[in-house]
Amino acid sequence: MKIPKPLTNVIESFQKLPGIGPKTAQRLSYYLLHVPQTELEHFAESLSKLKKETVLCTICKNVSEYDPCPVCSDTKRDTNTILVVEQPLDVLAFERVGQYDGMYHVLHGAINPLENIGPDEIFIGDLLSRVKSASVESFGEVKEIIIATNPTMEGDATAMYIAKKIREITTNGEVVKITRLGMGVPTGADLEYADEATLREAIDGRRAI
């Protein structure tokens, strides 16, 4: 039986999302047929505004409604420490823990040669520029960079690359301390799925690299 074109279009759109296979895409699409039209229109409007009404913070590259974002504009945060993560969802994970009160930097990915993702395709250059100009731009002296990329092959490669580049950077004559998340995060796991206790242990047990 031929599926109606409007349904086919929605199914194909769902299949483009990560983790959504053909069967799940079909279930979601047919489910939407039972949703009231007003809710569908609200859903469509929300999707339409998703990119129009959000921006990347020019400082940390996190997704926000405002620039700078609430974290970067919070004068109570510790500006001496920057925690580097792969994705915006990782920021939410650490904020839920409530133990870290420093700044963030979101890479929006990790170095992955197999996917043709190199250092220039993610926000590593912006991190280096940020550390170099921190005292000039009145963000405070950067004393520590905590690299919190995922404990995967790509995350480890990204961490090593960042560490290598930052070792050459000095702030007021002092070498910036570079650390990596400690025990607690299992190898191959994504930080966004880690529980609060695991992330707390990872922050406390961070080690120099």
Torsion angle (degrees, nearest 10) of CA 107, 112, 113, 118? 0
**pTM of the predicted model, to two decimals?**
0.81
User: What tens-digit pLDDT sequence spans the chain (209 residues)?
Assistant: 789 999 999 999 999 999 999 999 999 999 999 999 999 999 999 999 999 999 999 999 999 999 999 999 999 999 999 999 999 999 999 999 888 999 999 999 999 999 999 999 999 999 999 988 764 444 457 889 999 999 889 999 999 999 999 988 765 556 688 999 865 555 556 667 666 766 776 777 676 77
How many angstroms separate the CA atoms of 94 and 189, rounded? 15
Predicted pLDDT at 201: 66
Predicted local distance difference test score (pLDDT) of residue 197: 66
Got the DSSP string for the chain? -PPPHHHHHHHHHHHTSTT--HHHHHHHHHHHTTS-HHHHHHHHHHHHHHHHT-EE-TTT--EESSSS-TTTT-TTSEEEEEEEESSHHHHHHHHHHT---EEEEE-SS--BGGGTB-GGGTTHHHHHHHHHTTTTTTS----EEEE---SSHHHHHHHHHHHHHHTT-EETTEEPEEEE--TTSPTT--GGG--HHHHHHHHHT-EE-
Please state the CATH superfamily assignment of the domain spanning residues 5-52 in this structure.
Answer: RecR Domain 1 (1.10.8.420)
Domain ranges of the chain: 5-52, 56-208
Q: In the prediction, which pLDDT does 138 show?
A: 45
Distances (CA, A) of 102 to 81, 82, 84, 202: 5, 6, 11, 15
- Cα distances (Å, whole numbers) of residue 82 to 51, 79, 202: 26, 7, 15
pLDDT at res. 187: 57
User: Which CATH code for domain 56-208?
Assistant: 3.40.1360.10
